[in-house]
């Protein structure tokens, strides 16, 4: 597995660079306003530090808990606590950001994530659970506070055209993938090449979080929701979001697809380490391979939706779900007890990440067109509820039986079933929207729909 990991990393990196170059050539010319470029850089230097610190913690999280000699069932509980905190804080993150101010929320992200990283030094089980809870709060703030600050400054302070906002986040998404690939390499350097152990990447993230918080405090202006707090009451917002979800079959199908697909991805994030780690690969390099595969998928999306090919997001969403189902079907055989095939499992994991690279921009485009902007935040919060519940139930079922490898295989069988249900939901959505011209792009918009991949992946 060691040689396979490094060779795969080099090959995937070469493909990434080739596709990224092709995508850049197909991309329409960016806005050239120097004031806008300066404002973008002003945002990026803080935002990228936050993303970098977040990605550094990805490769060795499970390995750290295993290094502390916790049972797999205990580790599963820690992950479930993290998912539960993501559900809770995800519901109130938008309200909290508007309540305390966007800049203050970004500083709060840095502070809570620093504490989250420092808890990894403790071998106390409940301290590690507290760290995961704080991690749920931090990732919720990362997903809301920075974007909210940027959009307000872009529109209200600098009065730039709203049409330029997608360009900023499209570029951020490309850099986000690159940062993720590099983070796996750096994590391997500290954890394995320097033999500092799996806690090292978490400690390396701390100074970057401190720098991120310091730059935010020094360089960013505070901005608030009009009136200082959210004008819409939280309860009313939730009710309106649920009404929107139930009133429109397209929204309901979209929510079903997201819950089914992304719950499987959360389970995959938990399972890949115990499946591959016994065979001795460098986990950080494996993580970089995953992120490079995801980056390839995102680049393929941008090329496929350009004027040259003009494939529609619903078609690419169908392809993404189909690829993920095929990979999970492979895993039901490669993880069979007594017949483990780590190379085949690794290949299947790469296909899953490729599917993620296609899935997230496709889903982002459809969400923007189908869900009304006024109810979007509340609807997405409702989407995340069944998503995390499915992931939590899956992991509790996996390790509640104590079946080890056999239980892992059974979980991949269940995940394949969930992905098959997602595929049927995609087919149903396609039959509903196939004549809807508003859900088609013209080749220009497709280049701007590659939103950042959630950091939890």
Which pLDDT tens digit goes with each residue over 280-317?
899 999 999 999 999 999 989 988 888 777 888 999 99
- Domain match, 154 and 289 both: no
More confident residue, 157 or 420: 420
- Does one domain contain both 179 and 276? no
Instruction: Give the pLDDT score at 17.
Output: 79
The pLDDT value recorded for residue 448 is 41
Q: What is the pLDDT of residue 111?
A: 96
- Closest by alpha carbon to 36, among 44, 24, 28? 44
Q: Is residue 1 part of a domain?
A: no
Cβ 122 vs Cβ 64: under 8 Å: no
Task: Give, as one character, the DSSP assignment of residue 231.
Answer: S
For residue 23, being part of any structural domain is answered with: no
pTM: 0.89
Q: Do 84 and 193 fall within a single domain?
A: yes
| Whole-angstrom distance, CA of residue 111 vs CA of residue 206 | 10
In a domain, 309, yes or no: yes
Summarize the chain as % helix, strand, coil (round to 5): 80, 0, 20
Q: What's the pLDDT at 451?
A: 42
Asked if residue 208 is part of any domain, the answer here is yes
Q: How many domains does the chain have?
A: 2
Percentage of the chain exceeding pLDDT 70: 88
Distance between CA atoms of residues 103 and 145, nearest Å: 8
Tell me the residue length of the chain.
457
Same domain, yes or no: 218 and 362:
no
> How far is Cα 109 from Cα 147, in angstroms, rounded to an integer?
13
Contacts with 228 (C-beta within 8 Å, 6 or more apart), sequence order: none
Residue 337 within a domain: yes
Sign of CA dihedral 92, 397, 454, 246: negative
- Cα gap 73→274, rounded to integer Å: 12
Whether residues 431 and 330 fall in one domain: yes
Segment 360-391, tens digit of pLDDT: 999 988 888 888 877 777 777 777 777 777 88
* Whether 305 and 426 share a structural domain: yes
Q: Kindly state whether residues 189 and 316 are assigned to the same domain.
A: no
> Residue 409 and residue 331: Cα distance in Å, rounded?
7
404 pLDDT tier (thresholds 50, 70, 90):
low
Residue labelled with tokens 């619903």: 314
pLDDT, residue 234, reads 62
Give pLDDT tens digits for 227-241: 544 445 566 767 777
* The predicted structure's pLDDT at residue 231: 47
CA neighbor of 299 nearest in space, from 15, 6, 9: 15
Question: Residue 306: what pLDDT?
Answer: 81
Q: Are 193 and 242 part of one and the same domain? A: no
Rounded to 10°, the helix 125-152/102-118 angle is 160
Is residue 272 within 8 Å of residue 349, measured between CB atoms?
A: yes
Distance CA 340, CA 326 (A): 18
Query: Which residues, at least 6 apart from 356, have a Cβ–Cβ distance to it below 8 Å?
Result: 265, 294, 297, 320, 324, 453, 457
The token duo for 349 is: 């994991």
Which of 231, 257, 288 is where one domain is finished? 231
* CATH code of 423's domain: 1.20.1250.20
Band of the pLDDT at 31, cuts 50, 70, 90?
Answer: low
- Quote the domain boundaries for residue 345: 234-440
Is there a domain that residue 450 lies in?
A: no
How far is Cα 334 from Cα 243, in angstroms, rounded to an integer? 43
CB atoms within 10 A of CB 403: 14
165 and 311 part of one domain: no
Helix axes of 405-433 and 313-334: crossing angle, nearest 10 degrees: 160
Q: Report helix, strand or coil for 71.
A: coil
Where is the domain boundary, 204, 231, 258? 231
What average pLDDT does the chain have?
A: 85
Q: Who's near 455: CB < 8 A, 6+ residues apart? A: 51, 54, 55, 58, 139, 142, 143
| Residues 209 and 272 grouped into a single domain | no
pLDDT tens for 119-173 read 999 999 999 999 999 999 999 899 889 998 998 899 888 888 888 888 888 888 8
Q: What is the DSSP string of 370-415?
A: HS-GGGHHHHHHHHHHHHHHHHHHHHHHHHHTT-THHHHHHHHHHH
Write the pLDDT tens digit of every residue in 51-82.
Answer: 999 999 999 999 999 999 998 888 988 998 98
46 vs 332: CA distance, rounded Å: 42
**282 within 8 A of 188, measured Cβ to Cβ:** yes
Q: At which of 231, 266, 283 does a domain end?
A: 231
Instruction: Please report the pLDDT score of residue 398 as a whole number.
Output: 67
Query: In this structure, are 183 and 292 located in the same domain?
Result: no
Closest by alpha carbon to 301, among 356, 370, 380, 368?
Answer: 356
Q: Is the residue at 428 inside a domain? A: yes
Within-domain flag for 26: no
What are 203-228's pLDDT values in tens digits? 999 999 999 999 999 999 988 765 54
Q: Distance between CA atoms of 433 and 439, rounded to whole angstroms?
A: 7
Residue 94's pLDDT band (boundaries 50, 70, 90)? confident
Do residues 172 and 278 share a domain?
Answer: no
- Rounded-to-integer distance, Cα 286 and Cα 288, Å: 5
Q: Are 409 and 345 in contact (CB under 8 A)?
A: no
Does position 446 have pLDDT exceeding 70, yes or no? no
């Amino acid at each position: 597995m060691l040689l396979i990991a490094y060779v795969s990393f080099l090959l995937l990196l070469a493909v990434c660079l080739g596709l990224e170059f092709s995508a850049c050539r197909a991309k329409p010319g960016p806005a050239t306003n120097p004031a806008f470029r300066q404002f973008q850089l002003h945002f990026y230097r803080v935002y990228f530090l936050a993303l970098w610190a977040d990605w550094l913690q990805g490769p060795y999280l499970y390995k750290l808990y295993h290094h502390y000699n916790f049972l797999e069932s205990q580790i599963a509980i820690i992950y479930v606590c993290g998912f539960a905190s993501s559900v809770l804080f995800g519901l109130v993150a938008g309200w909290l950001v508007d309540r305390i101010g966007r800049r203050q929320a970004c500083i709060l992200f840095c502070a809570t994530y620093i504490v989250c990283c420092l808890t990894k030094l403790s071998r106390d089980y409940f301290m590690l659970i507290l760290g995961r809870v704080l991690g749920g709060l931090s990732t919720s703030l990362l997903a809301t506070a920075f974007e909210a600050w940027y959009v307000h400054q872009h529109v209200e302070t600098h009065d730039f055209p709203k049409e330029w906002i997608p360009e900023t986040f499209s570029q951020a998404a490309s850099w986000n993938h690159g940062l993720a690939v590099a983070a796996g390499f750096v994590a391997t350097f500290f954890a394995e090449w320097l033999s500092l152990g799996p806690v090292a990447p978490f400690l390396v993230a701390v100074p970057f979080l401190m720098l991120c918080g310091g730059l935010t405090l020094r360089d960013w202006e505070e901005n608030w929701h009009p009136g200082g707090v959210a004008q819409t009451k939280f309860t009313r917002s939730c009710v309106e979001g649920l009404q929107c979800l139930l009133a429109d079959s397209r929204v309901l199908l979209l929510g079903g697809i997201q819950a089914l697909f992304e719950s499987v991805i959360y389970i995959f994030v938990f399972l890949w380490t115990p499946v591959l780690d016994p065979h001795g690969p460098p986990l950080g390099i494996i993580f970089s391979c995953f992120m490079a595969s995801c980056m390839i998928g995102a680049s393929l999306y941008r090329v496929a939706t350009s004027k040259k090919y003009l494939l529609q997001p619903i078609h690419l969403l169908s392809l993404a779900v189909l690829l993920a189902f095929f990979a999970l079907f492979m895993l039901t055989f490669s993880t069979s007890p007594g017949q483990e095939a780590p190379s085949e499992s690794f290949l299947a994991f790469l296909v899953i990440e490729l599917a993620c690279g296609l899935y997230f921009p496709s889903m982002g485009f459809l969400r923007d067109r189908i869900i009304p902007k006024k109810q979007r935040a509340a609807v997405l919060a409702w989407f995340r509820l069944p998503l995390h519940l499915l992931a939590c139930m899956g992991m509790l079922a996996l390790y509640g039986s104590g079946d080890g490898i056999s239980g892992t295989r059974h979980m991949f069988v269940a995940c394949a079933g969930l992905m098959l249900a997602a595929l049927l939901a995609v087919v149903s959505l396609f039959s509903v929207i196939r004549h809807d011209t508003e859900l088609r792009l013209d080749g220009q918009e497709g280049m701007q729909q590659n939103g950042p991949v959630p950091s939890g992946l």
